[in-house]
Amino acid sequence: MKIYYDENMPFAAEFFGELGQLQSFSGRDLTAEQVADADVLLVRSITKVNQALLSENKQLKFVGTATIGVDHIDQTYLASRNVPFFSAPGCNAISVAEYVISALVVLAERYLLDLSSLTVGIVGAGNTGTRLSEKLTALGIQYKLCDPVLEQSGEDSRDFVSLEQVLKCDVISLHVPLTRTQENATYHLLNANNLASLTDEQILITACRGEVIDNQALLALKEQGHQLKLVLDVWEGEPKVLTPLIEHVDIATAHIAGYSLEGKARGTEMLYQALCQQLGIPAKLSLSALLPSATIDKVEIKQEFDQILLNQLVKMVYDVRRDDAIFRQQLSSQGFDTIRKTYPTRREFSAVNVTLTNQAKNDVPHRLGFSNPSK
């Protein structure tokens, strides 16, 4: 069995090595000729899996994407060929949520904001939005959820508000899939009309898909002198970026919010489990056995937890300013995809064990996602 996988899938060789003959590929440049003899095709979000890509292949038995989003997959075409398809819902939700927390910590320091006084509007209450809401709760930060699809399903008991209400929050964080034709399409969900309703004091964060915000409209707004604070991890037209917009963005990164080692590797593990199930064999390997220890894996806190300590702890694990600097310095010389391909290792909060002394009884770090060595 020939297994083709994106070279940016961590631990792919370890997970799939015993299941078949492995061949890695560059996701953006994959051609129909390259995968003509593939039995299994494992991709990430930059590879469009459609009839054009699979035109030379007559034997494909399994397609998987190690990502939450599936807008790059023509599922109708795969179904017409009876090719099973699997994604990795929720695999990097924690990573994206921690990206948002790091961004909020950085902006709070930069603009002297009291995080506990802010209200965060979360647009998209699926896996990622839910993980973010949990971390905000741990920090005592109020939030509102907007998700018309979940609200209309009647299967979610949480309280939801309208997009108009969310756009009045101090912070607006976008975590929706990209859809174009459905009733609640998210393409250009934020456009010239509703962007104009935002104030200079608000913060807009997007870590889902670039086309959810009309980038040209956002640039026009900023060029008019609007002081809206921006955190953009995704860009319309990737890998091409509307470069004049960058100078107006507080934190700019190359679609890496979900790129923690754990986030990417969970996607690999989930596809491994799906393929084993498809083949009718037991899944022998687990991610926990493959993850290395973090560079700093133990911290002892001896005082009550406050915003200053939060800032220090979060940035010790992940300081989003590093990725902002890489993006600004390397985009023109290296390119968007190379920045992603060469992304330095980043760990999640759970990689660090936090011990609280008797003087530090506040368990915010553990509720935020840091590991508790006593459990």
Round to whole Å and give the CA distance between 211 and 191.
10
Mapped onto helix, strand or coil, the DSSP state of residue 177 is coil
Residue listed under structure tokens 């840091």: 370
Q: What is the DSSP string of 46-95?
A: TS-BSTTTTTT-S---EEEESSS--TTB-HHHHHHTT--EE--TTTTHHH
Q: Which of 151, 236, 238, 269 is catalytic?
A: 238
Q: Which two tokens stand for residue 105?
A: 């910590």
Strand partners, 23: 4
Length of the chain: 375
Q: Which of 255, 266, 340, 347 is catalytic?
A: 255
Q: Residue 3 in contact with residue 40, Cβ under 8 Å? A: yes
Q: Residue 334 in contact with residue 114, Cβ under 8 Å? A: no
Chain centroid, CA 168 distance in Å: 24
Helices (H), the chain: 12-16, 75-80, 93-111, 127-138, 148-153, 163-166, 192-195, 215-223, 243-246, 261-279, 307-317, 320-334, 336-341, 364-368
Q: Is 209 a catalytic residue?
A: yes
Round to whole Å and give the CA distance between 184 and 165.
16
Q: Is 238 a catalytic residue?
A: yes
Q: Is 262 a catalytic residue?
A: no
Q: Which of 209, 266, 340, 347 is catalytic?
A: 209
Phi–psi pair at 145, nearest 5 degrees: -110, 135
Where in the sequence numbering do the catalytic residues fall? 209, 238, 255
